[in-house]
Amino acid sequence: MIRLHGIHKSYRTHFGEREVLAGVDCTFHRGEKVGILGRNGAGKTTLLRLIAGVEHPNRGHVERGMSVSWPLGFAGAMHYSITGADNARFIARIYGKPLAETVEYVESFAELGEYYRMPVRTYSSGMMMRLGFALSLAVEFDCYLVDEVIAVGDTRFGERCRQALAERRERSTLLLVSHIPETVRAFCTSAALLSDGRLTRYEDLDEAIAAYRAA
């Protein structure tokens, strides 16, 4: 399971300290498919980054009883000075995956052409997103974190992302953050509402979506 214990997170801004998460307590069990709904700026991405360990809370801690992905498509998982192929090799070595197989999978999924063997810093933002998503899927995790990345790219690539996510959904835990109820409904069986720094779980998906729309 993944358990959040009294998570507080704030950032310094030009207008002073801004609290994003104000004492979040929540447990996600193995095999759950949970959508986290929240308006833009509610702290959804911050919450995923804390669960992934990309950032740390100001107070509280995250307990992880399963392997957790970085947020799918997260650009911070890449090294910008090396090529896309070298990034795939790096991920393979870190996670003990077959080198050639991983490089081939990422190349096939990302469809970057000759850019795959060029430094990532030469990529457009869309190309970085493609590579980030492919790198994320090249490793099997117990729990996948998804930050609305399934809407990225052109129509065909976006559909490939959705299909790949649906496959992972069948055998893994899924935590997906979104401000679009239809996206949560398509991939999740329960939901939570993130508002005013607090996270409220709902076992009934329709009840969660109604609460979100009324907020």
* Sequential pLDDT tens for the chain (215 residues): 999 999 999 998 888 888 999 999 999 999 999 999 999 889 999 999 999 998 999 999 999 999 998 887 666 678 999 999 999 999 999 999 999 999 999 999 999 999 999 999 999 988 888 898 889 888 888 999 988 755 544 567 777 877 887 787 778 999 999 999 998 998 899 999 999 999 999 989 999 999 999 98
SS3 label, residue 182 = helix
**Nearest C-alpha neighbor of 50 from the set 21, 16, 76, 72:** 21
Residue type, 97: K
Q: Are 165 and 133 in contact (CB under 8 A)?
A: no
| Nearby residues of 168 by Cβ (< 8 Å), 6 or more positions away | 137, 144, 174
Range 1-55+142-153+171-215 classified under CATH 3.30.160.250: no
Q: Is 201 in contact with 175 (CB distance < 8 Å)?
A: no
> No. of H helices and E strands in the chain?
7, 8
Do the Cβ atoms of 143 and 67 come closer than 8 Å? yes
Residue pointed to by tokens 């709904």: 37
pLDDT at site 105: 95
Distance in angstroms (rounded) separating the CA atoms of residues 85 and 140: 19
E-assigned strand segments in 65-115: none
- Residue 34 has what pLDDT? 95
Task: Provide the pLDDT for residue 112.
Answer: 95
Measured CA to CA, the distance from residue 188 to residue 170 in angstroms comes to 11
For residue 70, the model assigns a pLDDT of 84
> Residue 22's pLDDT is what?
95
pLDDT score recorded for residue 155: 66
Q: What is the pLDDT of residue 212?
A: 94
Task: Give residue 76's pLDDT.
Answer: 66
